[in-house]
Structure 1
Amino acid sequence: MSDQEQSGVTGRVTDLGRDIGEYIKQQRASAKISLRQLSKLAGVSNPYLSQIERGLRKPSAEILQQIAKGLRISAEALYVQAGILDVPHGGPVVDAVRADDALTERQKQILLDVYESFRRENATSEQPPVE
């Protein structure tokens, strides 16, 4: 790999770190949680969490899961934002909920959980009775 290609890859990784850090910071702000509070809730050191938010560190999937738990949002949302998972597809209702900027990640996840529970319930009730 050439130096130019290497620097492009490094730049993309740095951008991902900045993107996930900014996303975590936005989620923390919308939840009205201080950096120190999130640090305690997630079990991640305050300095390390600060470095993640500033894009200086790229957290592992395990750390993202802990942060998601502290923020009370789905780990999947953080994985997608960090580039670990592809954006899931799920039809027009799921896409509309995910695209709604007026909802927090937690609200989106709750709506999607309720929606999926209704779909599962209807799928089992529509099955013909066993004779």
Structure 2
Amino acid sequence: MRFTTSRRPSPRTRRLARTLARFLGADYMTRGKSGLDDDGVWMVVVEGDGSPTGIARRSRGEEEVFRFTLSCEGGSKRLKMTRPVVVGAGNSARDLAEFFDLDHAAEAAAGRAIRVCDGFVDFVDGGDLILRLNI
């Protein structure tokens, strides 16, 4: 899985794409004028009116989009290199785990986790809030 942005992203969109890539242990590529190759999975952070509005998952000619608004960005810190787990009950947590190709757990896990609640998704590392997305 590799993260990138649209061709002319805002600084906030670039920062979000880099943060998500680091959080998920994925590579980040500055897009510029280059296109996306057909190898592997691309996660493209898309924007509207200068703000990030979603992530498009592109793989083998297919595209799936996860829409959100950015609610909160935590402070920058060096993230641990552990694979996160999606935590939460219900279909939205399972769908998000499938979207990012991660494991799903019904109850909170220690360490790095993506917590899915009603109306928002928290990206948490060791109890520190990294990102909050309103869905």
Bucket of the pairwise TM-score, normalised by the shorter protein:
under 0.3
Structure richer in helix, relative to its length:
1
Determine which structure has more spread, i.e. the larger CA radius of gyration. 1
How high is the TM-score relative to the length of structure 2? 0.27
Higher relative contact order (CA 8 A, sep 6+): 1
Structure richer in strand, relative to its length:
2
